[in-house]
Structure 1
Amino acid sequence: MYIDGVIDVSLWNRAGWNGILYVFAAEAVPVVGLLFDGQDAGRKIFSRWKHNLGENDSRELIRFSIIEGDITSEPDGYSVFIGTNPKAAISRAKTRGYDIEQQMLCTGRFHRMTPPPESCNLDNFKKEYSKYNSYILAPAIQSSQGPIVLFELGIVKKDVNFLSSDNLKKDHLEYVVLKKEPEWNGKGSGMIEAITSKSESTTPEQVTEAIAVFETELASGAVEKNIDPMVIDSLAEVGYDENGLILPDTVNPALVATAELVRAEVIEREAARMPLIDVQKKYVEFLEYYFSKPYGDMKTHELTPHQMAKIMAKDKDYVEAWKSAAPEMFEYLKELWSTANVVTASHLRRMPTLKAVYGGNVFPHPESNLVSNVGLYADTIVLPDPIFSSLGMHAMLQPEHSTYILAKNALAAMSYKEWAIADVDVPILVFVPSYFYLSDQLPKIIEVFSQSDLQNHLGKVFDYRFNSFKDIEEYFEHAPDVEALASSVKNKERFVFDIEENPLPLDQIGIILDDFEKKLTIPFEPLPSKMRLLKSLQGRFMQANNVLAHCDLYGGIPIIDAPTSWQYFLWKLECSASQLSMGAEDTLVTHVLHEDLRNIPCFSKVPAQGIIELRRSNKLQGMREVFRRGIMEISSVDCDAVEDVTKKVSQNLRDALQEYETHVQELPKEIMSVSGQAVALAGSVGLGIAAASTGSIPLAIIAALSGSSGVSSAKDIMKKLNEIRGSRKRLKSNPVGIFWKV
């Protein structure tokens, strides 16, 4: 993020800007004086500008605007805005060797002018400005004789923006004069940066530390080119008390924000030196300590996590054990992730690979088998720790239900542990914390974004213009009941509560919401079903915004495996008119592989060694190219795009398998004499890449084949294989071999 320093907020606060004045003279450009109460601070503002910009603001870095028209709750008059011109700031940064690619933080000040109705000063300024196409911006100070303009500190400018309050758009910097809450437009990334870079330095000690780190990095020359010179200049204004702590009123907030960003970069740089796998091993140790016994029982009895969790939730001893252990587990994970979150984030952000970030639910469905489908396309799967979030809800739920949720998610996580600690250069899977439960700020910000999305979405559902989220609440409150709401729905396809029910009768919504509340142990303020429904619909958009926030943080694409959550994710993109900052094609291909094709036998039987070997032999990119073949650039993620990509990926897979089968049939007959059978799809048994790509057949498979191969021992098979190994070289480089049995 680039932080501009045109406006030093602390200096402006001390200067006390309270208006403007105009000076007109014959045959001279007009002068606009910024009237300050504080003479010294006002002088410093313009002295610093002249030092950095010169006598003439040739780049028009200072943005000066006059906004006429009525503003709600403001007296008659016009508003004046002064701040940064973003285009000029970007151009200036480039000349210093820094390219602003994503976020830039600009600050501004505005003041409401209330001249008497008969005043013609503004009209005269417009006339004089149109005559000379320039003006002088200068400081003015109060004195006993009246305002005094400090002409020697004036700066020549050419641009002034004459605007109307009626025509201000949300992307205007001057929109702030309307004093409305700006709504996030959802474009690009940056949501998580609002969380991670937001000032946490609320104490002088923390501010002092951040500034000290900043000055150290500045002295080393590591950051100077991407810091606005005016931000650096504001260091001279910083004051300290007798204990060496910064005096808050003397430090520019832009300087604090810059210092904290630099400190965050230093921390991230240091965190990246810690091996990511060490964090993963710590988490896996935690899983095994608490859940290895039930996981072993589950495997022994061939149960699913859901079935095993149901058994555990019915056992009073289990319930009491988890109830007493929950606080200790929660504190351990909180400490682990509070320390290790920067390690996982720094490593993932630095990986120039395709990362698929799971969202839409607490954890993937136990039968999802993400690695066997998404793992054939994405380099790394990012999974949120489900235990920490489950424990976060522990006190709210009835003990039996809490035990079920905790056990099901933990047992599902256990099935992924081998991937998290696999010995590969690029991690196959990484467990990370959910910032939604770790951060105090993220839930609040996501709630605001989600309310905006819901406002747009429900406007289409009811064909009604909602001007705010409060309008929505009043709309639901005034409806007699859920049935009355249903009768006012104009677009029923968008009034979705749970796609999995296919469809869910509207008169059952209240029953389902009541059933959920029966699982709660903490009594909530009673809400009618219609308002609980509103909360549920908002929760869907919160899920969508949450996964986007984590994709921003890690630089990944989303995986959403719940149909309802996926639909709301699509609607979220539509509502905010946003495009994914990550590749839309990769998002859709990953979704299709996971949601639409995962039950194909050749996916469900891919062995662990096959997934690992794809990476060790550098064939994963080839596999991606197989799936993406013929898929043109996708401009948006929507239902039509999903259908198109599903068809294309399915066809690509069929074509690749058919091509591979043709190559296999061209091999010498000796291969068939080894196996005793023709090549078949992996859906039969699933030997995998170990046979098709590496030429190293596991002893278990050799033993299984020896009875029908006509050879007397495993030794004979290995001898034959060594003789024909050269004939298999072209298959060895084909990633599609992972789906085949030889």
Structure 2
Amino acid sequence: MAAESNDETEAEMQWRLNVLKLMAEEGKIHISEHLWQETKESLEKIRYRPNGTIDLDTVDGRIRSMALMAAHVHEREQAKQAISLFDISSYYFETIEKNLGFLKKEADDRGLNAYEFASLAIRSQEFVDDVSDNAPRIIEFLESFWKDVADSAYYHLQDLRGTKGVFGGDLFPSHKHNISSSLSLYIDTIVLSDPFLHSRPIFQHAEPANKAFLLVKHALNVLQYKNLAEADVGVPIVTLVPFKSTIDADENEFLQSVAAADALKHASRLFGRTFTEETELWEFVEPLNTPDQVVSSLVEPSRLLFDTEWTEDLESQIRRSIETDWSGTFGSALDAGAMVAIQCFGRMGQATDLLFKSRYLGGVPIVDAPTSWEYFNWKLEYNSAVEPESDVHLHMVKGLQHASTSDEKWLGNIPPEAIIEMRRSGAFQEIRSVLSQGVDELSQANPNNFFRASDQIVENIRDAFEKHTKEVQSLRRKTVKFAGHDIGTMLVAGAIDIASIVTGTPTFGAASFCVNQFIDVPKLRQIPARFRELKGAHKELKKSPIGLLFRHRSG
């Protein structure tokens, strides 16, 4: 076995060195001038064996390191060339649609959202039996699919130009809204995770009705992003890729070790004492059997958060969490202290996973769920985990999320087709510039005040809308009288057909009449120079980036 291992090691090194040689010949290796002399000396030491292979004893550490990096770059390029990011998304959505697309059609016909339709569907035992039996096959297929293409997707995303937002903190964005509606006004590409793959433990152990409910809800949620993911706009608006820890055991092990350290920091804040080992925390919570014992031991009770929407006293919340979130999970009743410890590990693991994925893909974290956001924010506090240059992106993401649920709710209702139109028309860059004015300065002055960023974004939106409105009003004031009608007002209202002016037979919407009764065609063809200029200005205003954005503004 040792001999085989040595043979494999030598063969791997020979391959790496050959890759290095090939990349050097193709001009893909660039060595800094101050390193060239030492590198040259290392290269000159290399000798070949009579059989034409490299004598590895003559290869020093510098060249071995260069060969390792060359092999890595080569493998990345091979993986990227094997399949495009667009093809990965298309194949994924095609799979979901072919197997579960009938559910979306039925839900759309009934006017129900994902949660409502899933709740209705599982009332049929026949449906539950059928779906729960087939769920494992779908999960198995997706697991195999991602094992084949995940690395390619990761490499494509790492090399993708533009800003990237990486979703986490939950299995998938809320069914109540399409997260891209507001965030795609600023973020180039939103990276979502495959909720089916991340739900494997549930599909393996849950009751049939729960499996069916989750499968239906995931299918409807995922398919609302299909058009955005498949839009041919250059840089993808939305794409999916699983968390690396889901398909890589080593990554998951490392994640758990980092998350454990954060969990101990969080527990230390909760109980006002330092925990340096997991055993210390478990020993401390062991005697805390009841909710009142936990509450009396807390020093920072505000950091024991179950759900931002729960309003009852903390003892009641602990009891509610045990009964609703952990009932039956461990086969017996869970003590309050143990539940709190598990909560620390679970929540910090979730936040750490998102931060790892964001850094790995070079993106800014996106957290949609308010409770998950609080834990993620604590994670940032414990680790000082966000790079300064990422601050403005994080502030913009949180600001847009808050604005779309409070002051400017219409931002959360922009349809996918409108987002695609803005990208295709080239409006995206200007809209992003308008929305982000002043946010960079705010993020630097107060890195933790995300609500101030929201206020600035709302102010930017309202300033832009006021300016846009004034431009429209300016067009209205440019009066062109034609046959006794104010064309300036009518064209702003969209009542005139420009094609009819060119052909000499204009129509005026409800006030349609034959212009030839008042003015002959030759004169008609002579007058529209100023009109066309005015009409063109209005059309351009409607097509302008801000015009496209405010087309979807309500109220």
TM-score category by the smaller chain? Answer: 0.7 to 0.9
1:616 partnered with 2:424: yes
Tell me the CA shift for residue 619 of structure 1: 2.2
Q: How does 1:182-193 map to 2 (within 5 A)?
A: none
The separation in 2 between residues aligned to 1:497 and 1:258, in whole angstroms, is 50
**C-alpha distance in 1 between matches for 2:533 and 2:378:** 58
CA distance in 2, matches of 1:401, 1:506: 28
CA contact (8 A) 2:307 2:371 kept: yes
How far did 1:504 drift?
Answer: 5.7
**Partner AA of 2:511 in structure 1:** G
Aligned alpha-carbon RMSD (Å): 3.9
Deviation of the 1:479 alpha carbon: 2.8
8 Å Cα contact 1:326-1:394 kept in structure 2: yes
Name the residue aligned to 1:657.
465
Offset at residue 628 of structure 1 (A): 1.3
- Residues 1:218 and 2:20 aligned together: yes
Partner of 1:555: 362
Q: Distance in 2 between matches of 1:592 and 1:618?
A: 23
Distance 1:604 1:677, change over 3 A: farther
Deviation string 1:76-107 (CA, Å, 9 cap, x unpaired) is xxxxxxxxxxxxxxxxxxxxxxxxxxxxxxxx
TM-score when scaled to structure 2?
0.80
Going from structure 1 to structure 2, the CA distance change for 1:531 and 1:427 (only over 3 Å counts) comes to same
Alignment of 1:90-129 (within 5 A): none
Which whole-Å CA distance do the structure 1 matches of 2:211 and 2:468 have between them? 49
Letter in 2 for 1:214: R
Contact 1:392–1:437 at 8 Å: present in 2 too?
no
Q: How far 1:517 sits from its partner (Å)? A: 3.8
CA distance in 1, matches of 2:511, 2:7: 79
Change (3 A) 1:576 1:301: same
Aligned counterpart, 2:511: 710
What is the CA–CA distance in structure 1 between the aligned matches of 2:13 and 2:63, rounded to whole Å? 8
Q: 1:603 aligns with which of 394, 399, 411?
A: 411
2:226 alignment partner in structure 1: 417
Report the CA distance between 1:434 and its aligned residue.
2.4
Instruction: Say which of 297, 302, 323 aligns to 1:514.
Output: 323
1:201-600 correspondence to structure 2 within 5 Å? 207-208=9-10, 210-220=12-22, 221=24, 222-223=28-29, 225=31, 261-273=69-81, 274-502=83-311, 505-518=314-327, 527-580=334-387, 583-598=390-405, 600=408
CA distance in 2, matches of 1:214, 1:223: 14
Contact 1:355–1:557 under 8 Å retained in 2: yes
The answer on whether the counterparts of 1:298 and 1:304 sit within 8 Å (CA) in structure 2 is yes
Amino acid at match of 1:430: T
1:725 to 529, 535, 538: 535
Q: Does the Cα contact within 8 Å between 2:42 and 2:63 map onto a contact in 1?
A: no
| Structure showing the higher helix proportion among its residues | 2
In structure 1, the gaps of 5 or more residues are 1-201, 679-694, 697-705, 714-718
Distance of 2:313 and 2:242 partners within structure 1: 33
1:676-715 correspondence runs (5 A): 676=493, 709-711=510-512
Residue of structure 1 in register with 2:482 after alignment: none
Cα shift at 1:203: 5.8
Alignment of 1:15-94 (within 5 A): none
Structure 1 pair 404–263 and aligned structure 2 pair: CA distance change class (3 A): farther
Which structure carries more strand by proportion? Answer: 1
- The higher relative CO (CA closer than 8 Å, separation ≥ 6) is in 2
Q: Supply the AA of the counterpart residue of 1:311.
A: L
Task: Tell me, in whole angstroms, the C-alpha distance in 2 between the residues paired with 1:250 and 1:294.
Answer: 64
Distance 1:536 1:210 in 2: 44
Please say if residues 305 and 366 of structure 1, whose CA atoms lie closer than 8 Å, have aligned partners that are also in contact: yes
CA distance change for structure 1 residues 657 and 540 in 2, over 3 Å: closer, same or farther?
same
What is the distance in 2 between the residues matched to 1:593 and 1:655? 16
Which amino acid is the alignment partner of residue 549 of structure 2?
A: I
Partner residue of 1:174? Answer: none
Equivalent residues of 2:182, 2:400 under 8 A apart:
yes
Distance 1:498 1:637 in 2: 30
Paired residue type of 1:354:
T
The residue that corresponds to 2:452 in the other structure is 644
Q: Contact conserved, 2:118 with 2:213, CA < 8 A, in 1? A: yes
Equivalents in 1 of 2:236, 2:284: separation in Å?
A: 49
- Alignment counterpart, residue 738 of structure 1, candidates 532, 546, 549: 549
Residues 529, 396 of structure 1: CA spacing in aligned structure 2 closer, same or farther, 3 A cutoff? farther
CA contact (8 A) 1:446 1:546 kept: yes
Residue 670 of structure 1: aligned partner: 487
Secondary structure, counterpart of 2:380 in structure 1: helix
Secondary structure, counterpart of 1:559 in structure 2? strand
C-alpha displacement of 1:372: 1.1
Identity %: 24
Q: Distance in 1 between matches of 2:29 and 2:441?
A: 37
- Displacement, 1:455? 2.0
CA distance in 1, matches of 2:304, 2:208: 33
Match of 1:83 in 2: none
Letter of the 1:574 counterpart: E
The structure-2 alpha-carbon separation of the partners of 1:589 and 1:324, relative to structure 1 and needing over 3 Å to count, comes to same
Amino acid at match of 1:269: E
| Alpha-carbon shift at residue 710 of structure 1 (Å) | 3.4
1:627 equivalent in structure 2: 435
Is this contact kept in 2: 1:675–1:709, CA < 8 A?
no
Q: Which amino acid aligns with 1:710?
A: A
Q: 1:282 to 1:236 in 2, by over 3 A?
A: farther
Return the alpha-carbon distance in structure 1 between the equivalents of residues 44 and 287 of structure 2.
55
Write out per-residue CA displacement over residues 518-569 of structure 1, whole angstroms, 9 at most, x where no aligned residue: 475xx55864232122112221111111111111121111110111110111
Greater mean deviation of Cα atoms: 257-266 or 401-410: 257-266
Given that 2:439 and 2:456 are in contact with CA atoms closer than 8 Å, whether structure 1 keeps it comes out as: yes
Aligned residues: 506
The 1-side partners of 2:201 and 2:143 are apart by 10
Shift of 1:730: 5.2
TM (norm. structure 1) is 0.61
